[in-house]
């Protein structure tokens, strides 16, 4: 669990101390991640994380959580660091069983070993790397009873895009240590909280998760020339380009939130200004075509107004939303029920959101008439309401510490054999 941390701190030392810099001439990892930047310089922090996450993974050793610092970022044919992390579907297995060790390489699920060489370079303008996307696409059923439609299926958002969620060692290990990999494990954990045996879920400070969105070049009519401006992948004979990258880190208690998108993304009014600017290092690589969409470190501004942040691809159809607010509604309970909190969160920002099956009338029935006058919200709210977590006067829904993959990816996946004894709290 500590490896990443040690690594990051050694990278900082290398970058800030001349003695180390001289010794490590081959250290091409140029990111400088400081936890305090999350609050003090959030845009700069976002770019440092972007450089770390998109640095080539180490295909020589196949290790999952330390990039290859002997080659520069943007090297053709490489696969990036976050792609070597564990995919959510390798964590929340369909038979509800315990996932393997983070470093395990023998299973078929291990993908970094399959990092292929670039198949072509387009006119020297950029590069394309091809990698295994076979597990990125989660097949989802019809909308569930809360009306949430499939958001991340290959034919979901933008009709032909796909979403991919991956977690680092710290996040993964916490889920393993706390038996949170299955729906039943989460119910047992909620019961243990009620019985005073466990504390609320709180991931270690080294935890990071990303969610990537890919667009289908053919379906979106992206020209050959423009394709070279994307970080690319191929799956089932189709070519995809990375359109967005959501990043969250536990640098601060309610997580640090950032999102990047390709320069050609549709216009979105719900970002925040990039106060740092793109690092020079990226300007000769394919990554120069990506923009910081915004950062978020709190529910509200000092005035109490909600903070808003979204990505034009991932939050397509509900752009007037707030990462931190929606994620605060990911909950577990002892009977597995969830309550419609995700929709309530959206109702308090944009009651009229057909993309999520919401209208003013539906929102009135979800959050109560008291928040509306003349069919309009009285005050938008960015902070969660305590009532979201209560049933029959008692706390019944316990937050998953903002991580939505826990509750989303375990839906319909039941334990088929008893969990390890240590999971019965």
Sites of contact with ligand HEC (CB under 6 A): 88, 152, 163, 165, 209-211, 246, 248, 257, 259, 309-311, 315, 318, 321, 323, 326-327, 342, 346, 403-405, 408-409
Nearest of 361, 250, 339 to residue 4 by alpha carbon: 250
Distance CA 91, CA 101 (A): 10
By beta-carbon proximity to ligand HEC, the closer residue of 226 and 249 is 249
Coil, strand or helix: which one is 190? helix
We find the least distance from the C-beta atom of residue 127 to ligand HEC, in angstroms, to be: 25
d(C-alpha 159, C-alpha 182), whole Å: 29
Nearer to ligand HEC, 287 or 404 (CB): 404
Comparing CB distances to ligand HEC, the nearer of 69 and 348 is 348
The two tokens of residue 9 are 């701190």
Whether the CB-CB separation of 382 and 299 falls below 8 Å is answered with: yes
Minimum gap (Å) between residue 393 Cβ and ligand HEC: 27
Instruction: Please identify, using beta-carbon distances, which residue of 27 and 380 lies nearer to ligand HEC.
Output: 380
As given in the structure block, the two tokens for residue 273 are 């200004």
Cβ closer to ligand HEC: 92 or 231? 92
Which of 53/57 has CB closer to ligand HEC? 53
DSSP bridge pairs for 247: 210, 258
Dihedral angle, C-alpha 315, 158, 355, 344, nearest 10 °: -30
Q: Give the integer Cα–Cα distance in Å for 32 and 37.
A: 10
- Residues 6 or more apart whose CB falls under 8 angstroms from that of 339 comprise 331, 333, 388, 391, 396, 397
Q: Tally Cβ neighbours within 10 Å of residue 18.
A: 7
| 182/405 with CB nearer ligand HEC | 405
Distance CA 355, CA 166 (A): 25
> C-alpha angle with apex 199: 196 to 204, nearest 5 degrees?
165
Q: How far is the CB of 211 from ligand HEC (least distance, A)?
A: 4
Minimal distance, residue 85 CB to ligand HEC, in Å: 11
Q: CB of 105: closest distance to ligand HEC in angstroms?
A: 24
User: DSSP character for 132?
Assistant: B
Angstrom CA distances, 280 to 18, 77, 166, 254, stand at 20, 21, 27, 31
Q: What is the DSSP string of 234-262?
A: EETTEEEEEEEEEEEETTSTT-EEEEEEE
Indicate the residue among 323 and 367 with the shorter CB distance to ligand HEC: 323
Q: How far is the CB of 193 from ligand HEC (least distance, A)?
A: 19
SS (H, E, C) 89-114: HHHCCCCCCCCCCCCCCCCCCCCHHH
Distance CA 203, CA 165 (A): 17
Q: Among 171, 195, 176, which Cα is nearest to 334's? A: 195
As measured in angstroms, the least distance from the Cβ of 320 to ligand HEC is 9
Q: Tell me the closest approach of the beta carbon of residue 318 to ligand HEC, in angstroms.
A: 6
Q: Which C-beta is closer to ligand HEC: that of 170 or that of 228?
A: 170
Residue 73 Cβ, how far from ligand HEC at the closest point, in Å? Answer: 21
Nearer of residues 63 and 320 to ligand HEC, judged by Cβ: 320
Which stretch of DSSP H or E encloses residue 79?
none
CB of 154 to ligand HEC, least distance (A): 13
């Amino acid at each position: 669990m500590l490896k990443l941390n040690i690594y990051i701190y050694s990278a900082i030392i290398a970058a800030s101390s001349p003695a180390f810099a001289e010794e490590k001439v081959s250290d091409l990892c140029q990111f400088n991640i400081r936890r305090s930047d999350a609050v003090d310089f959030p845009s700069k922090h976002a770019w440092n994380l972007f450089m770390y996450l998109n640095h080539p993974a180490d295909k020589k050793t196949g290790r999952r959580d330390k990039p290859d610092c002997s080659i520069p970022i943007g090297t053709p044919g490489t696969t990036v660091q976050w792609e070597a992390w564990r995919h959510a579907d390798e964590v929340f297995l369909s038979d509800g069983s315990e996932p393997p060790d983070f470093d395990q390489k023998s299973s078929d699920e291990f993908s970094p070993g399959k990092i292929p060489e670039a198949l072509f370079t387009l006119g020297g303008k950029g590069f394309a790397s091809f990698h295994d996307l076979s597990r990125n696409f989660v097949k989802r059923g019809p909308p569930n009873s809360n009306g949430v439609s499939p958001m991340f299926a290959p034919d979901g958002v933008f009709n032909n895009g796909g979403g991919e969620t991956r977690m680092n060692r710290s996040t993964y290990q916490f889920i393993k240590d706390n038996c949170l990999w299955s729906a039943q494990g989460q119910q047992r954990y909620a019961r243990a909280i009620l019985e005073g045996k466990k504390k609320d879920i709180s991931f270690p400070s080294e935890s990071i998760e990303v969610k990537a969105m890919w667009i289908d070049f053919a379906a979106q009519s992206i020209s050959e020339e423009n394709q070279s401006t994307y970080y690319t992948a191929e799956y089932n004979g189709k070519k995809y380009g990375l359109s967005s990258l959501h990043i969250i880190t536990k640098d601060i208690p309610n997580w640090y939130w950032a999102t990047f998108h390709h320069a050609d993304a549709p216009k979105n009014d719900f970002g925040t200004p990039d106060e740092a600017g793109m690092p020079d290092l990226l300007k000769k690589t394919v990554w120069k075509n990506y923009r910081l969409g915004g950062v978020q470190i709190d529910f509200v501004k000092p005035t109490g107004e909600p903070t808003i942040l979204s990505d034009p691809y991932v939050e397509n159809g509900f752009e007037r939303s707030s990462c931190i607010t929606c994620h605060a509604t990911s909950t577990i309970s002892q009977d597995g029920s969830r309550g419609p909190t995700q929709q309530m969160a959206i109702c308090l920002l944009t009651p009229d959101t057909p993309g999520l099956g919401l209208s003013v009338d539906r929102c009135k029935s979800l959050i109560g008439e008291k928040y509306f006058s003349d069919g309009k919200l009285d005050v938008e709210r960015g902070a969660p309401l305590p009532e979201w977590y209560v049933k029959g006067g008692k706390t019944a829904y316990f937050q998953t510490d903002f991580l939505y993959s826990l509750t989303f990816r375990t839906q319909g996946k039941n334990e088929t054999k008893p969990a390890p004894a240590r999971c019965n709290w």
